[in-house]
Chain A
Amino acid sequence: MDNCKCCENKGYDELGAFIDALPSKKGELITVLHRAQSIFGYLPREVQEFIAERLDLPLAKVYGVVKFYSFFSMTPKGKHPISVCMGTACYVRGAEEVLTELVRQLGIPVGGVTEDGKFSLDTLRCVGACGLAPVVIVGEKVYGRVEPKKVAGILADYSDEGEVRS
């Protein structure tokens, strides 16, 4: 989501409506955090405060859950978030080298975002596509059998501002 005020307000409206539609607010924190992250792309403090207030939960508890699960992030993602699978199968088939190449080409560390906000880089554990190992995910698109020399080509897919060439 872009960071303009009207989009942000729309995001809160959407999240508020989602919370209001829940049959009960009890035990729904993780569901709500998932939805919030899909709306805003990350979970900044203001969003956590909004959730704590709407779910009538202590802010410390919301923050505790966000900090416990590595899936939840408090830093904004790039427009095209890149995740490299570091699960066992991907790892033994060279995920580490792929990751090193991505770090080199993007010029950012794992967890970082490129200066233009276009890419962010993370690792994750097993996406269940071990047959395609090693796997790299960009946004919703899954790239299988990736090798370091294929990295440049993958990044080039996004050279036209988000238009994925097929």
Chain B
Amino acid sequence: MSKMIDLTIDGRPVSVPEGSTILDAAKKLDINIPTLCHLDLEGTPMVNKGASCRICVVEVEGRRNLAPSCATPATQGMVVRSNTIRVLHARKTVLELLLSDHPKDCLLCAKSGNCELQDLAEKFGLRENRFEHGAQSTYVKDMSPAIERDMNKCIMCRRCETMCNEVQTVGALSGINRGFTSVVAPAFEMPLEESVCTFCGQCVAVCPTGALVERDYTWKVIEALADPDKVVLVQTAPAVRAALGEEFGYEPGTLVTGKMAAALRMLGFDHVFDTDFAADLTIMEEASEFLDRLTRHLEGDTSVRLPILTSCCPAWVKFFEHQYPDLLDVPSTAKSPQQMFGAIAKSFYAEKLGIPREKMVVVSIMPCLAKKYECARDEFSVDGNPDVDISITTRELGHLIKKANIDFRNLPDEDFDDPLGASTGAAVIFGTTGGVIEAAVRSAAEWATGQELSKVDFEALRGLEGCREAKIPVGDLVLHIGIAHGLGNARRLLDAVRNNEVEPFHAIEIMACPGGCVGGGGQPYHHGNMDIVAKRAKALYREDANKPIRKSHENPSIKALYEEYLGKPLGEKAHHLLHTHYFKRHKI
């Protein structure tokens, strides 16, 4: 056990383990010292304590200068005061200086209501600023298909930089310049789109202000819905149902699947479908591909590449295209559920409706920013017409529902439409780390052994540890499965595999965001509280447990799709519509 340190804050005694900061100790006493640049995402390497904003300063007896509580270790006998006039003066000055170089158009800002700087200004009750005429940087907005960077709103907390470099190890962002012209930017201030950015959106998830936000496409959705010549389909990703409720005041972890379907119908979507359907389809293809590779490997075919890597996360796909260009033939070629849905909607379903694909608009609701980028990739369109037209986030859907005056909390529970709305429990757990591989194992195990599983819950694959492994007996074979979430963990696992530091895996699941899609960059802001992400994951496992069918290959609509249209998994038609290929991209 580590040594305990005794100190007092505002006259109250407290004991904390050695190594704790003054801020940690204050939290233990429920003393709410304001912070801005500080962020500690427990369970990830995200501990941003640059102490650059100085809003958390406190007075320490015997110290000449005020101390930033987020970065000052608590020491034995320390006497701290968090609210003296000197402290309040300093905080006020810090805030005035920050605001002097920050735009005041909060009413037009995408982050309004979720902005930590705005919250501080409100908390301090600032009514005037002594430094009103500070320099305002004049950076041009950088609009990528997924993320908007408005560096005029950057306060240089550098959380995004820590996230991008330490947690995700993507390395797209760095602090540049000095003084008023300092910002966080990609190399040579190139547009994000040309950089190694994966569009995981985790920088957006941790940005305290409106400097980094998603590219908002809600108005495009409204226009499509208002166009009488268009048939508009919507698909909703698994993780959305476990988080959308937060936008309407529900406790984190509340499932709002039925209300969401009702709201989408009220918004005017012609067909309310579910990405979960396509997740089941993904399992049909990915688990078949896995079994095929495994069988050939066991038969001694040395050309087979194992472990198979999952490919449903577009940020992960872009990451390995940049960082592991020599491994492009290792990931599964199966498209992501979003793209499988689009491909089937604009072929099978458009034919069924008797309309050309140009008349159909496919909208996806995703917990993700990379999905906006994914649906814009050239290979996912036919003659310039994309398989998925518009991708919006959970947050954008929340806004859309509010904009349309829909009383979400009093909506009845409704179902998705058939046939692209039917799904199994295996599909809904795609939204959390470990879920995709569990869904794949459920089907692969039954196909390999020809026997029904006595239990479909593979608890060994669950949990929130960043890198984990599990051994799953399937018949005479023991499958060695790896799981990583967060791109930094993915890199660690892949490097270990490459350097033969670990027992060879048969399959590895990778999700770019900490927690998987439940912690996605497009989800309601968790403001650093990782418990919220854990609660969303639990909700998805609840939804799975309550589903009558829990294995993808038993989804009757999926079976019918193969019988009617696709033929066999990995067959010619399936290959054409449901599989893709990857591109080598620059590494730095």
Give the Cβ gap from B185 to chain A, nearest Cβ, in Å: 8
- Assembled-state Cα–Cα distance A59/B165 (Å): 12
- Assembled-state Cα–Cα distance A63/B176 (Å): 8
Neighbour of A61 across the interface among B165, B177, B178, B188, CB < 8 A: B165
Neighbour of B175 across the interface among A57, A59, A62, A68, CB < 8 A: A68
Chain B interface residue count, Cβ-Cβ cutoff 8 angstroms:
18
Q: Which residues of B contact A57 (CB under 8 A)?
A: 171, 588
* Stretch in contact with the other chain, from A45-53, A119-127, A130-138, A150-158: A45-53
- Assembled-state Cα–Cα distance A166/B175 (Å): 45
Q: Which residues of A contact B170 (CB under 8 A)?
A: 58
Q: Contact between B587 and A60 (Cβ–Cβ < 8 Å)?
A: no
Q: Which residues of A contact B175 (CB under 8 A)?
A: 64, 68
Main secondary structure of the interface of A (DSSP, over half): helix
- Assembled-state Cα–Cα distance A17/B170 (Å): 28
Q: Which residues of B contact A62 (CB under 8 A)?
A: 187
CB contact list, B556-588 vs A, under 8 A? 587-588
- Assembled-state Cα–Cα distance A67/B189 (Å): 11
Q: Contact between A61 and B587 (Cβ–Cβ < 8 Å)?
A: no
- Assembled-state Cα–Cα distance A24/B401 (Å): 56
Q: Which residues of B contact A60 (CB under 8 A)?
A: 171-174, 185-187, 195
Q: Contact between A63 and B165 (Cβ–Cβ < 8 Å)?
A: no
- Assembled-state Cα–Cα distance A67/B171 (Å): 16
In this assembly, does B344 line the interface, its C-beta being within 8 Å of a C-beta of chain A? no
In this assembly, does B196 line the interface, its C-beta being within 8 Å of a C-beta of chain A? yes
**Chain B positions 173 through 216: 1 when the CB is less than 8 Å from some CB of chain A, otherwise 0:** 11111100000011110000001100000000000000000000
Give the Cβ gap from A59 to chain B, nearest Cβ, in Å: 4
**Chain B positions 96 through 130: 1 when the CB is less than 8 Å from some CB of chain A, otherwise 0:** 00000000000000000000000000000000000
CB contact list, B150-179 vs A, under 8 A? 165, 170-178
Q: Which residues of A contact B172 (CB under 8 A)?
A: 58, 60
Q: Contact between A53 and B587 (Cβ–Cβ < 8 Å)?
A: yes
Q: Which residues of A contact B176 (CB under 8 A)?
A: 63-64, 67-68
Q: Which residues of B contact A58 (CB under 8 A)?
A: 165, 170-172, 174, 187, 196, 588
Q: Contact between B177 and A59 (Cβ–Cβ < 8 Å)?
A: no
In the complex, the chain B residue whose C-beta lies closest to that of A62 is: B187
CB contact list, A63-80 vs B, under 8 A? 63-64, 67-68
Give the Cβ gap from A49 to chain B, nearest Cβ, in Å: 7
Q: Which residues of B contact A45 (CB under 8 A)?
A: 188
Chain A interface residue count, Cβ-Cβ cutoff 8 angstroms:
15
- Assembled-state Cα–Cα distance A49/B174 (Å): 15
Q: Which residues of A contact B165 (CB under 8 A)?
A: 58, 61
Residue among A48, A60, A63, A67 facing the most chain B CB atoms (10 A cut-off)? A60
Residue among B176, B177, B178 facing the most chain A CB atoms (10 A cut-off)? B176
Give the Cβ gap from A68 to chain B, nearest Cβ, in Å: 6
Q: Which residues of A contact B196 (CB under 8 A)?
A: 58-59
Known: A53-B587, A58-B171, A58-B196. A63 touches B177 (CB 8 A): no
Q: Contact between A49 and B588 (Cβ–Cβ < 8 Å)?
A: yes
Residue among B177, B187, B587 facing the most chain A CB atoms (10 A cut-off)? B187
- Assembled-state Cα–Cα distance A68/B177 (Å): 5
Q: Contact between A67 and B588 (Cβ–Cβ < 8 Å)?
A: no
Q: Which residues of A contact B195 (CB under 8 A)?
A: 60
- Assembled-state Cα–Cα distance A52/B587 (Å): 10
Q: Which residues of A contact B173 (CB under 8 A)?
A: 60
In the complex, the chain B residue whose C-beta lies closest to that of A65 is: B174
- Assembled-state Cα–Cα distance A48/B196 (Å): 16
- Assembled-state Cα–Cα distance A52/B187 (Å): 11
Q: Which residues of B contact A64 (CB under 8 A)?
A: 174-176
Q: Which residues of A contact B185 (CB under 8 A)?
A: 60
In the complex, the chain A residue whose C-beta lies closest to that of B174 is: A64
Residue among B174, B177, B587 facing the most chain A CB atoms (10 A cut-off)? B174
- Assembled-state Cα–Cα distance A58/B172 (Å): 7
- Assembled-state Cα–Cα distance A48/B188 (Å): 10
Give the Cβ gap from A27 to chain B, nearest Cβ, in Å: 15
- Assembled-state Cα–Cα distance A68/B170 (Å): 21
In the complex, the chain A residue whose C-beta lies closest to that of B195 is: A60
Q: Contact between A67 and B587 (Cβ–Cβ < 8 Å)?
A: no
- Assembled-state Cα–Cα distance A36/B165 (Å): 25
- Assembled-state Cα–Cα distance A67/B185 (Å): 11
Q: Contact between B588 and A59 (Cβ–Cβ < 8 Å)?
A: yes
**Chain B positions 343 through 356: 1 when the CB is less than 8 Å from some CB of chain A, otherwise 0:** 00000000000000
In the complex, the chain B residue whose C-beta lies closest to that of A64 is: B174
In the complex, the chain B residue whose C-beta lies closest to that of A45 is: B188
In the complex, the chain A residue whose C-beta lies closest to that of B173 is: A60
Q: Which residues of B contact A53 (CB under 8 A)?
A: 587-588
In the complex, the chain A residue whose C-beta lies closest to that of B587 is: A53
- Assembled-state Cα–Cα distance A61/B158 (Å): 13
- Assembled-state Cα–Cα distance A60/B170 (Å): 10
**Chain B positions 201 through 243: 1 when the CB is less than 8 Å from some CB of chain A, otherwise 0:** 0000000000000000000000000000000000000000000
Give the Cβ gap from B290 to chain A, nearest Cβ, in Å: 32
- Assembled-state Cα–Cα distance A64/B174 (Å): 6
- Assembled-state Cα–Cα distance A53/B187 (Å): 13
- Assembled-state Cα–Cα distance A61/B162 (Å): 12
Give the Cβ gap from A70 to chain B, nearest Cβ, in Å: 8
- Assembled-state Cα–Cα distance A21/B195 (Å): 30
Q: Which residues of B contact A68 (CB under 8 A)?
A: 175-178
Give the Cβ gap from A48 to chain B, nearest Cβ, in Å: 8
Q: Which residues of A contact B587 (CB under 8 A)?
A: 53
Can you identify 18 A-B contacts, CB atoms within 8 angstroms?
Answer: A48-B187, A53-B587, A53-B588, A58-B171, A59-B187, A59-B196, A59-B588, A60-B171, A60-B172, A60-B173, A60-B185, A60-B186, A60-B187, A61-B165, A64-B175, A67-B176, A67-B177, A68-B176
- Which 6 pairs of residues, A with B, have the shortest CB-CB distance? A58-B171, A64-B174, A60-B174, A59-B187, A67-B176, A59-B588
Binding site for B on A (CB under 8 A): 45, 48-49, 52-53, 57-64, 67-68
Binding site for A on B (CB under 8 A): 165, 170-178, 185-188, 195-196, 587-588
What 6 additional pairs, Cβ within 8 angstroms, besides A53-B587, A59-B188, A61-B171? A49-B588, A58-B196, A59-B588, A62-B187, A63-B187, A68-B178
